Structure 1
Amino acid sequence: MIEKEKIRNEVILMLQSFSETEKKSIEQTLYTNLFASKFWKKANLIGITLSKGFEWSTMPIIKRAWQEGKKVSVPRSIHASRELHFYQIEQFSQVKVGYFDIKEPIVEQTKRIHKEDIELMLVPGVAFTKKGYRIGFGGGYYDRFLRDYLNPTLSLLHSKQIVAKIPIETHDVPVDYLITERGIFSTAVTEQKE
């Protein structure tokens, strides 16, 4: 999908153009909007990635979850089947750098969490439409995971990451809510998950 690749690269360049100060300021607003949401308040067990590079940092979210007594599960990619398995971490020493420089849970030190036990899923992505369709990092791991995931899904992004349209494939699964620096928005597609 050449068009997807083009959109992905353009948005990544835009994200990399934020200064460190701008990025931190945007992140603070995203965190504030997330922590004020009913989804965050209701969830006792969250699913979240370990961010890197230009991505919005998820470390403060994980730390806040621990402070509030929430459980945190992070994904491990199973490359042969392109699946995600989530494991509960209680400290950052329980993760290591795996494939593609992605931080993943150390399986021997953590407990696998069943999909239906994760009460809120924070889904990473690069570009999004207002209907919650996203361009991630390729591979379709999250789309496979989300196909039969029934709890709320949301993504943190800057409003500049919202694009008019992206090529949608049959296996693509939209997220339910977008949290931007301007607030939290429902994606019209799955309004019934309230």
Structure 2
Amino acid sequence: MDKKEMRKQAIKRLKDIPDTERKLIEEKLLDNLLHYHGWKEARSIGVTVSNGFEWTTRPIIEKAWEEGKAVCVPKCLPKLRKMDFYQIHTYDQLEIVYYNLLEPKPNNCKKVNKQEIDLLITPGLLFDQKGYRVGFGGGYYDRFLADFPNRTVSLASEEQVVNELPVESYDVPVDAIITNT
């Protein structure tokens, strides 16, 4: 099965999770993340603002603010096929962009160099035992991770972790995968 088909099936499975089960998984993912040494050591985190069927990141963002961590959110630059991160202090610094995504308003936030992000919470749909991932297909994170110097982690339900995924030369594995179990 190719990545496109894997992506399609993973999205369907995630969308089909009943709300009560989804809430339990998200609570466990948050709890496990907060006990992860990478979280405890980080002064700044990079994280997307979740949308739709993705695991919610709002409690992560709010916990980071509560703990005095800098919260850095990506802004995609489609023409350049890259993303920049901006530090936000409030949700008011976000705007709705294409695909109904929430991204920082660049004129309202401080742009952050990737070296300043201690822990990058990397989204994905499927992950393998070596940390490789199938993302949403845009390649934004693969390009960003190519020279990202700090710690990376992904959050996934146990069902999103498989034995092996097809790997391309440009794929960069995450350092850790935190699951609900």
Q: SS of the residue aligned with 1:34?
A: helix
**TM-score, normalised relative to structure 2:** 0.97
Q: Which residue of 2 aligns with 1:136?
A: 135
Aligned residue identity for 2:144: F
Shift of 1:46: 0.5
Q: Which residue of 1 aligns with 2:45?
A: 46
Q: Which residue of 2 aligns with 1:90?
A: 89
Q: What are the within-5 Å matches in structure 2 for residues 2-151 of structure 1? A: 3-151=2-150
Shift of 1:167: 2.1
Shift of 1:61: 0.2
Q: Deviations over 1:6-47 (max 9, x none)?
A: 111111111112111110100010000000111111101100
Shift of 1:165: 2.6
Distance (whole Å) between structure 1 residues aligned to residue 69 and residue 26 of structure 2: 21
Q: SS of the residue aligned with 2:73?
A: strand
Q: SS of the residue aligned with 1:87?
A: strand
Distance (whole Å) between structure 2 residues aligned to residue 103 and residue 167 of structure 1: 30
Distance (whole Å) between structure 2 residues aligned to residue 98 and residue 104 of structure 1: 7
Q: Deviations over 1:92-139 (max 9, x none)?
A: 011011122211000111000010000000000001111111111112
Distance (whole Å) between structure 2 residues aligned to residue 100 and residue 153 of structure 1: 25
Aligned residue identity for 2:172: V
Distance (whole Å) between structure 1 residues aligned to residue 3 and residue 32 of structure 2: 28
Q: Which runs of 5+ in 1 are unaligned?
A: 183-194
Shift of 1:163: 2.3
Aligned length: 181
Shift of 1:166: 2.3
Distance (whole Å) between structure 1 residues aligned to residue 165 and residue 4 of structure 2: 10
Distance (whole Å) between structure 2 residues aligned to residue 145 and residue 23 of structure 1: 29
Aligned residue identity for 1:121: L
Q: Which runs of 5+ in 2 are unaligned?
A: none
Aligned residue identity for 1:38: H
Distance (whole Å) between structure 2 residues aligned to residue 171 and residue 99 of structure 1: 26
Q: CA RMSD in A?
A: 1.0
Q: SS of the residue aligned with 2:162?
A: coil
Greater Cα offset, 167-176 or 112-121: 167-176
